[in-house]
C-alpha cells in the first residue's frame, strides 16, 4: 500500500468492518478512507497499532450533555461558548466524531434552563464551529415537547438554524409513555422542582390540561415542518403499538427509547431503528423502571445506542453487548453506535470502514475495559 503526501496509514490493526474483523492496514487521505488492505504495511511512516481495534468514529444522535456544562450546578450558569468547548472535549474523548446535540424546544415548565438558554446554546455551537474550536462535528437535534403551549413559536425561531438535521417528538405528560407509572412521575418532578404533595397534584392537572389543549396540533405542526425541510424524524418513549403506528404514519425513521417490549418489537418490525440508552446497557437496566436495553438486544429488536447523559457509556455499551448477548458480534455491536445511527439520521458518508467514506475513525485497546488510543476526524488526528 503506497502513501501520498499528507496520507495517514494505520497498520497491524484489527479493522472492524461491516460484518467481520480482519487484521490489516487502512489509509486515510484527503479526509476520506483511501484504501483498506489485509496484512501489514512496511511503509516507514505507518502507525503500528500493535493489534488494537480500528473502527468508525462513533455517531451520537441524542445527548443532552451540553446542558450539564451550561448549568454545572443549580444557579451556576456557565458562559455558552466555553460550555460548548468543554462538552466537545468530553465527546471527542469518548470517541464520538459526530454528535447531535439534543436541545429541547419546550419543556414541562417555562423557567427551565433548557428553554431560557436554548437560543444561546445554538448560537454558541455555531460560533464555536465557525472559530474551529470543536473537534467533533456538531449537528443539531431539536427535541419538541408537544404539550408545551408555545412550541410552534419557539420552533419557528430555531428550525432553520445551521446544523439542524433531526427532529424528535416528545410528550412527557404523566400517566403515559416514559411515565406510565404516575408515582414515578411524581417522585421525579417533586424532587426536580421541590414541590409539595399539594403542589404536585396541581402540577399534574396543569400538565394534562396542556396536553389536551396543545399536543395534537403541535405534533402535526412539527411533523409537517420537518417534512418541508427534509429533516429526519424520531419518535420518543413509545409505549404501545398505537404509538408506533402513529410514528410510522408520520414517516419517522428512528424510535428513541421505547419503554416496553411491545413498542420496541413493533418499531423494529416496521423498519424504524430502535435506539436505547448506553447507560441502560452499562447499568444493566433502566433507571426509570422501563424496559432493559439488554432484554431488547437478546430479543433481536435493538438497532442503535445513544450515550444520552453519559458520553463515555457509548463505546462501553457496544463492547458489553458483544460480550453479553450471544447473537451480537463485535461488528454488529459497533454498527449500533456508528453506521445504524448515521443512516437513521440521513448521513450516508460515514459510520463504516469503506473506501470513499469519511475518515472518521477511532483506535481502541480492548482489554478488561475498552480504552481509546486515538481519534481521527476527516483524516486529521484530534485526540
Averaged pLDDT for residues 134-140: 97
Asked whether residue 263 falls in the same domain as residue 378, the answer is: no
> What total of structural domains would you count in the chain?
2
**pLDDT higher for 211 or 183?**
211
Phi-psi region of 378 (alpha: psi -120 to 50; beta: other; left: phi over 0): left
Any idea what the Cα angle at residue 345 is, between residues 339 and 350, rounded to 5°? 35
CATH of the domain at 5: 2.30.40.10
Question: Which residue, among 113, 123, 110, 15, has the nearest Cα to 64 in the 3D structure?
Answer: 113
Residues of the chain with pLDDT > 90, as a percent, come to 73
Highest-confidence segment of 8-12, 65-69, 104-108, 239-243: 8-12
Asked whether residue 12 falls in the same domain as residue 151, the answer is: no
Averaged pLDDT for residues 191-213: 79
Averaged pLDDT for residues 245-273: 96
Sorted by sequence, the CB contacts under 8 Å of residue 303 that are 6+ apart come out as: 268, 273, 274, 275, 336, 340, 344
Q: Say yes or no to pLDDT of 3 above 50.
A: no
Q: What is the pLDDT of residues 88-116, one digit of tens each?
A: 999 999 999 999 999 989 866 555 666 77
| Count of helix runs (H) and strand runs (E) in the chain | 14, 16
Identify whether the C-beta of residue 81 lies closer than 8 Å to the C-beta of residue 127: yes
Asked whether residue 338 falls in the same domain as residue 356, the answer is: no
Asked whether residue 11 falls in the same domain as residue 71, the answer is: no
Asked whether residue 152 falls in the same domain as residue 114, the answer is: yes
d(CA 43, CA 155): 53
Asked whether residue 51 falls in the same domain as residue 172, the answer is: no
Asked whether residue 252 falls in the same domain as residue 151, the answer is: yes
DSSP string, 179-214: GSSHHHHHHHHHHHHT--HHHHHHHHHHHHHHHHHH
Asked whether residue 173 falls in the same domain as residue 266, the answer is: yes
Helix 182-193 with 197-229: angle, nearest 10 deg: 100
CATH of the domain at 212: 3.20.20.140
d(CA 31, CA 282): 33
**pLDDT higher for 339 or 207?**
339
pLDDT given for residue 172 in this prediction: 75
pLDDT given for residue 200 in this prediction: 77
Dihedral angle sign, alpha carbons of residues 306, 310, 312, 313:
negative
Where in the sequence is the domain holding 11, given as residue range(s)?
Answer: 1-56+351-383
- In sequence order, what are the beta bridge partners of 35? 27
Averaged pLDDT for residues 318-322: 98
Asked whether residue 113 falls in the same domain as residue 189, the answer is: yes
Question: Which residue, among 246, 194, 261, has the nearest Cα to 215 in the 3D structure?
Answer: 246
Identify whether the C-beta of residue 275 lies closer than 8 Å to the C-beta of residue 341: yes
Q: How far from 103 is each of 114, 128, 184, 197, CA to CA, in Å?
A: 7, 16, 24, 30
Alpha carbon 380 to its chain centroid, in Å, reads 23
Set of cell numbers at residue 102: 439534543
Q: What is the mean pLDDT of the chain?
A: 91
Q: Say yes or no to pLDDT of 295 above 60.
A: yes
Averaged pLDDT for residues 183-205: 75
C-alpha radius of gyration, the chain, whole number: 21
pLDDT given for residue 256 in this prediction: 96
Alpha carbon 26 to its chain centroid, in Å, reads 27
Asked whether residue 249 falls in the same domain as residue 132, the answer is: yes
Asked whether residue 277 falls in the same domain as residue 187, the answer is: yes
Q: Say yes or no to pLDDT of 186 above 80.
A: no
d(CA 119, CA 158): 8
Residues of the chain with pLDDT > 70, as a percent, come to 92
Q: Say yes or no to pLDDT of 64 above 50.
A: yes
Asked whether residue 20 falls in the same domain as residue 63, the answer is: no
Alpha carbon 197 to its chain centroid, in Å, reads 35
For residue 204, name the pLDDT band (cuts at 50, 70, 90): confident
d(CA 34, CA 15): 14
Amino acid at each position: 500500500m503506497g502513501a501520498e503526501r499528507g496520507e495517514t496509514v494505520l497498520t497491524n490493526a484489527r479493522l472492524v468492518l461491516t460484518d467481520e474483523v480482519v487484521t490489516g492496514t487502512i489509509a486515510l487521505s484527503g479526509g476520506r478512507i483511501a484504501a483498506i488492505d489485509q496484512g501489514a504495511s512496511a511503509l516507514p511512516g505507518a502507525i503500528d497499532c500493535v493489534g488494537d481495534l480500528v473502527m468508525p468514529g462513533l455517531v451520537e444522535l441524542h445527548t443532552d450533555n451540553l446542558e450539564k456544562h451550561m448549568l454545572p450546578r443549580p444557579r451556576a450558569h456557565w458562559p455558552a461558548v466555553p460550555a460548548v468547548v468543554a462538552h466537545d472535549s468530553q465527546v471527542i474523548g469518548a470517541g464520538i466524531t459526530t454528535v447531535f446535540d439534543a436541545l429541547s424546544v419546550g419543556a414541562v415548565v417555562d423557567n427551565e434552563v433548557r428553554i431560557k438558554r436554548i437560543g444561546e446554546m445554538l448560537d454558541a455551537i455555531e460560533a464555536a464551529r465557525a472559530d474551529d474550536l470543536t473537534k467533533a462535528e456538531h449537528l443539531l437535534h431539536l427535541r419538541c415537547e408537544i404539550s408545551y403551549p408555545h412550541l410552534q413559536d419557539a420552533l419557528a425561531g430555531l428550525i432553520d438554524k445551521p446544523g439542524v438535521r433531526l427532529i424528535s417528538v416528545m410528550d412527557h405528560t404523566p400517566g403515559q409513555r416514559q411515565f406510565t407509572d404516575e408515582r414515578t412521575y411524581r417522585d421525579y418532578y417533586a424532587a426536580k422542582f421541590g414541590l409539595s404533595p399539594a403542589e404536585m397534584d396541581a402540577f399534574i392537572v396543569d400538565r394534562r390540561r396542556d396536553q389536551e389543549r396543545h399536543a395534537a396540533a403541535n405534533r402535526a405542526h412539527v411533523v409537517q415542518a420537518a417534512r418541508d425541510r427534509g429533516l429526519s424524524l424520531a419518535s420518543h418513549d413509545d409505549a404501545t403499538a398505537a404509538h408506533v403506528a402513529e410514528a410510522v404514519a408520520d414517516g419517522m425513521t428512528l424510535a428513541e427509547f421505547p419503554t416496553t417490549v411491545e413498542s420496541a418489537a413493533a418499531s423494529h418490525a416496521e423498519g424504524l431503528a430502535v435506539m436505547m440508552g448506553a447507560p441502560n446497557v452499562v447499568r444493566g437496566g433502566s433507571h426509570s423502571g422501563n424496559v432493559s436495553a439488554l432484554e431488547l438486544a437478546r430479543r433481536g429488536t435493538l438497532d442503535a445506542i445513544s450515550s444520552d447523559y453519559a458520553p463515555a457509556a457509548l463505546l462501553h455499551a457496544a463492547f458489553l453487548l458483544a460480550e453479553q448477548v450471544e447473537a451480537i458480534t463485535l461488528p454488529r455491536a459497533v454498527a449500533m453506535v456508528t453506521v445504524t445511527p448515521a443512516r437513521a439520521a440521513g448521513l450516508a458518508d460515514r459510520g463504516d470502514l469503506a473506501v470513499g467514506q469519511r475518515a472518521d475513525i477511532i483506535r481502541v485497546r480492548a482489554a478488561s475495559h475498552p480504552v481509546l488510543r486515538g481519534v481521527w476526524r476527516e483524516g486529521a488526528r484530534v485526540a
